[in-house]
């Protein structure tokens, strides 16, 4: 597997009246071709900001303070936006936005919304675009006639399928899915996850799957990247991150907080709240909530230490 | 233990406009029987739209029943007028906690005033109010209370705000609480805290709780009994341990199979799923309402409605094939 995507020392801050919010603060990782990487973390940990940065769709008050993003070998943050949109958006990398199923245009037929990128970004003739949109609708498990429906005529699960169809309409190689099932019932969630798996295989997609749910991540992820307060705190194979291997205390607690259907363990909780990214705590950002905190954690920020094969954790417990 | 709430054959129908002229009947609850005792939590689970919130509101008489009866501590309140509900202090004794910890608190009020509000409405004296507010804040572990009373909602985390909501529900000393998806909007890392807290308060204050949730896995930790609902009816109900260990109704079995567990092996398998989506309650299927999605439905299921029948001690199922499933003669997945 060679690289689909590589991110180096990315920092993305939002300008707010409370000062700079350090939403993504020194993030580096890579994504191999055909690999699925889950990005997991609590609300406000910077997951969506990371995704939006990769597809160059950040809001106006955000700025990329540092970093490089390589897509298939080419650095893309330095490209002009027009250039990026022309060459990468939709056709190389695309994103299913968080909550997108609820922000479809209410007055446009869903089929036309799927066809839109083809017409405007791909200069495809209209009937050709329509044919392609219908194919996509079928591909995500809906009848072709749904082309002519409006968003309000569809259930949440159906709208999520439409949004997925839209993201794939120009055959991208890299797909970012931001919480694609969080508003859905578990029964519908399971259907959508099966669909996503099928599509990943069929199109050999490289995937970044953003979720707050570690259990759900295990459905898709080859590797899992855990974010806390705008930083990566752990990155490793799904087997290692979810299994018995030593891990970051945050990941450990997050795993322990998942209610299980079987077994005797009672779910735990992490006291306190995630850091305020306008003034994050010194040292390790997790230290105010960490059960293992010691002197050094309060004073000094830990680097990512190697804790196993291809497995790193940002915690002094694993350092010198 | 004493029964706090009892619903008998409760129906709640809505007349909804359909098309330009006509109207149709939507059966949000279609004959639900359920009881909750002191120090007991009953979890109600099911997909969106199956009638969980309606059940909660009907049980509190925030909604009128179309048919059937609601009892609070043995007294029929299904037709009781608002003045009488108040005069008998029933309103105080029955409270609800909502899902959304963000929009449910007035952002311009201090925590102390938010929690005190129900007491003020009911005309309590200042000292009483202070005492009840402090006790409630202590119960929900917003301690020390004097530190929290002067804060504003935005200064609290989602989990803390939800605890304010719980405190607010507690100040009037309720005996029955409906918790409608109390943790679905807060971070996973704080959910267990709220749920375990609710359980311990329930015990110390000897309340009955109706816990409404999408998440059947959480039901395990907080409820003694569970009711699985489908399109306004109870498909299966019994002791939580029994239902989760030995689910019998095909819907329950498949619902349990849809719950993700963190296992890296998941990515190499497809999840068994329930096909399709719940049918419109405006046009529910005949016979067993689940037959359109059921993998083991037979002819009879389309025609005849299965009755809720006891298959294991205290464990009831409404399915024509329950007996075969229980014997292991029929596999659903
Ligand atoms: N447009 C914005 N302006 C200012 N701050 C923002 C903006 N968008 C996000 N933030 C802040 O940046 C941080 C990271 O937000 P982000 O949306 O990336 O988190 P997330 O991990 O996707 O959270 P969630 O799970 O809630 O979607 C948060 O502190 C958030 O409040
Ligand atoms: N005021 C109303 N008028 C008409 N129909 C209603 C009304 N309130 C609820 N319904 C319908 O009754 C059914 C049950 O709704 P209810 O809110 O009880 O479901 P729920 O199980 O709580 O769903 P969710 O999990 O989404 O909260 C739904 O089909 C809903 O659309
Ligand atoms: S009664 Fe029939 S359709 Fe209904 S759940 Fe049982 S087997 Fe399935
Ligand atoms: Mg997000
Ligand atoms: Mg509801």
Higher pLDDT, A319 or B238: B238
Q: What is the ipTM of this complex?
A: 0.89
Structural domain span for residue B167 = 39-61+80-229
Q: Does A197 touch chain B (CB under 8 A)?
A: yes
Q: Do B267 and A218 touch (CB under 8 A)?
A: yes
Q: Are A8 and A68 in contact (CB under 8 A)?
A: yes
Q: What is the mean pLDDT of residues B248-266?
A: 93
Smallest CA–CA distance, residue A93 to chain B, in Å, is 23
Q: Which residues of chain A have a CB within 8 Å of the CB of B271?
A: 190, 193-194, 219
**Token pair 């769709």: residue:** A57
Name the pairing type of β-strands B233-239 and A74-75. Answer: unpaired
pLDDT at B18 > cutoff 80:
no
Question: pLDDT digits over A265-275, tens only?
Answer: 889 999 888 89
Smallest CA–CA distance, residue B36 to chain A, in Å, is 23
Three-state secondary structure readout of A243-296: CCCCCCHHHHHHHHCCCCCCCCCCCCCCCCCCCCCCCCCCCCCCHHHCCCCCHH
Name the pairing type of β-strands A206-211 and A36-40. Answer: parallel
Q: What is the pLDDT of residue B103?
A: 81
Q: Which residues of chain B have a CB within 8 Å of the CB of A219?
A: 260, 266-267, 271
Q: What is the pLDDT of residue B17?
A: 85
pLDDT at B37 > cutoff 90:
yes
DSSP A208-252: EEEES-HHHHHHH-SEEEEEETTEEEEEEEHHHHHSSS---HHHH
For residues A259 and A173, give the distance between their C-alpha atoms in angstroms, rounded to a whole number: 35
| Within-domain flag for B103 | yes
Sketch out chain A's domains with CATH numbers: 5-92+173-271 (3.40.50.300), 103-171 (no CATH)
The CATH number of residue B168's host domain is 3.40.50.300
Pocket test for ligand 3, best of B296, B300, B308, B322 (most atoms within 8 A of CB): B296
Q: What is the pLDDT of residue A2?
A: 63
Question: pLDDT digits over B185-236, tens only?
Answer: 888 888 999 999 999 999 999 999 999 999 999 999 999 999 999 999 999 9
Q: How many domains does chain B have?
A: 1
Q: Are B255 and B227 in contact (CB under 8 A)?
A: no
**Token pair 């990026």: residue:** A84
pTM for this entry: 0.93
Question: pLDDT digits over A44-91, tens only?
Answer: 999 999 999 999 999 999 999 999 999 999 999 999 999 999 999 999
For residues B277 and A265, give the distance between their C-alpha atoms in angstroms, rounded to a whole number: 33
Q: What is the pLDDT of residue B185?
A: 84
Question: pLDDT digits over B289-319, tens only?
Answer: 999 999 999 999 999 999 999 999 999 999 9
Question: pLDDT digits over B45-79, tens only?
Answer: 999 999 999 999 999 999 999 999 999 999 999 99
Model confidence band, residue A1 (pLDDT cutoffs 50, 70, 90): very low
| Within-domain flag for B308 | no
Closest Cβ–Cβ partner in B187, B217, B266 for A261: B217
| Within-domain flag for B89 | yes
Give the Cβ contact number of residue B239 at 10 Å. 17
Q: Which residues of chain A have a CB within 8 Å of the CB of B189?
A: 42, 253-254, 257, 269-270
Q: Is B57 in the pocket of ligand 3 (CB under 6 A)?
A: no
| Within-domain flag for B282 | no
pLDDT at B84 > cutoff 90:
yes
Q: Ligand 1 centroid to B249 CA: how many Å?
A: 42
| Within-domain flag for B117 | yes
pLDDT at B5 > cutoff 70:
yes
Question: pLDDT digits over A194-209, tens only?
Answer: 999 999 999 999 999 9
**Phi/psi of residue A30, each to 5°?**
-135, 160
| Within-domain flag for B252 | no
Q: What is the mean pLDDT of residues A227-245?
A: 95
Structure tokens at B251: 């819907």
**Phi/psi of residue A12, each to 5°?**
-130, 120
Q: Is B6 in the pocket of ligand 3 (CB under 6 A)?
A: no
| Within-domain flag for B3 | no
| Within-domain flag for B264 | no
Q: What is the pLDDT of residue A122?
A: 73
Q: What is the pLDDT of residue A320?
A: 66
Question: pLDDT digits over B155-187, tens only?
Answer: 888 888 899 999 999 999 999 999 999 998 888
Closest Cβ–Cβ partner in B47, B189, B260 for A257: B189
Q: Most A CBs within 10 Å: which of B47, B189, B229, as the mutation test of the A interface?
A: B189
């Amino acid at each position: 597997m060679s690289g689909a995507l590589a991110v180096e020392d990315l920092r993305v801050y939002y300008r707010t009246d409370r000062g700079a919010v350090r939403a993504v603060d020194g993030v580096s990782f890579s994504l191999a071709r055909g690999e699925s990487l889950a990005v997991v973390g609590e609300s406000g940990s910077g997951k969506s900001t990371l995704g939006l940065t990769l597809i160059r769709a950040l809001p106006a008050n955000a700025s990329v303070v540092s970093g490089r993003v390589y897509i298939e070998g080419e650095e893309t943050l330095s490209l002009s936006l027009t250039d990026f949109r022309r060459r990468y958006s939709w056709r190389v990398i695309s994103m299913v936005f968080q909550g997108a199923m609820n922000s479809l245009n209410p007055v446009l037929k869903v089929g036309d919304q799927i066809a839109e990128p083809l017409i405007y970004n791909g200069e495809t003739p209209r009937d050709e675009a329509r044919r392609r949109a219908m194919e996509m609708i079928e591909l995500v498990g809906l009848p072709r006639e749904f082309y002519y429906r409006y968003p309000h005529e569809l259930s949440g699960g159906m709208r999520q399928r439409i949004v997925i169809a839209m993201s794939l309409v120009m055959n991208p190689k890299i797909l970012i899915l931001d919480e694609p099932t969080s508003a859905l019932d578990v029964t519908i969630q399971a259907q959508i996850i099966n669909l996503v798996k099928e599509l990943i295989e069929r199109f050999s997609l490289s995937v970044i799957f953003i979720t707050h749910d570690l259990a759900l991540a295990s459905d898709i992820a080859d590797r899992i990247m855990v974010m806390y307060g705008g930083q990566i705190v752990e990155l490793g194979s799904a087997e290692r991150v979810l299994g018995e291997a030593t891990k970051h205390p945050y990941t450990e607690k997050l795993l322990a907080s998942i209610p299980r259907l079987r077994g005797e363990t009672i779910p735990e909780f992490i006291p306190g709240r995630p850091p305020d990214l306008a003034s994050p705590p010194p040292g390790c950002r997790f230290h105010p909530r960490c059960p293992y905190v010691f002197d050094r954690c309060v004073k000094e920020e830990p680097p990512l230490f190697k804790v196993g094969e291809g497995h790193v954790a940002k915690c002094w417990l694993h350092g010198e | 233990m004493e029964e706090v709430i009892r619903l008998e054959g409760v129906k709640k129908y809505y007349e909804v406009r359909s098309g330009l002229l006509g109207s149709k009947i939507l059966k949000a609850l279609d004959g639900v029987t359920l009881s909750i005792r002191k120090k007991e939590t009953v979890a109600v689970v099911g997909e969106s739209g199956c009638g969980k919130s309606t059940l909660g509101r009907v049980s509190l008489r925030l909604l009128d029943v179309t048919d059937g009866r609601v009892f609070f501590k043995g007294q029929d309140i299904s037709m009781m007028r608002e003045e009488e509900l108040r005069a008998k202090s029933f309103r105080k004794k029955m409270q609800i906690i909502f899902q959304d910890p963000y929009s449910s608190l007035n952002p311009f009020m201090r925590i102390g005033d938010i929690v005190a509000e129900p007491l003020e409405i009911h005309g309590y004296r200042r000292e009483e109010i202070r005492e009840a507010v402090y006790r409630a804040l202590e119960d929900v572990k917003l301690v020390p209370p004097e530190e929290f009373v002067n804060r504003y909602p935005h200064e609290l985390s989602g989990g803390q705000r939800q605890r304010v909501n719980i405190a607010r529900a507690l100040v009037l000393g309720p005996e029955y609480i409906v918790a409608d998806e109390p943790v679905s909007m807060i971070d996973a890392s704080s959910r267990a805290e709220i749920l375990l807290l609710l359980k311990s308060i329930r015990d110390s204050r000897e309340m009955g709780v109706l816990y409404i949730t999408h998440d059947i896995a959480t039901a395990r930790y907080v409820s003694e009994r569970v009711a699985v609902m489908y399109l306004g009816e109870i498909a299966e109900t019994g002791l939580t341990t029994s239902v989760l260990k030995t689910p019998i109704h095909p819907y329950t079995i498949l619902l349990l199979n849809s719950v993700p567990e963190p296992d890296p092996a998941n990515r190499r398998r497809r999840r068994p799923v329930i096909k399709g989506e719940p049918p419109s309650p405006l046009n529910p299927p005949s016979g067993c309402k689940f037959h359109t999605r059921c993998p083991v439905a037979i002819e009879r299921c389309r025609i005849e409605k299965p009755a809720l029948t006891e298959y294991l001690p205290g464990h009831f199922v409404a399915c024509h094939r329950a007996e075969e499933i229980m014997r292991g003669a029929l596999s659903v997945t």
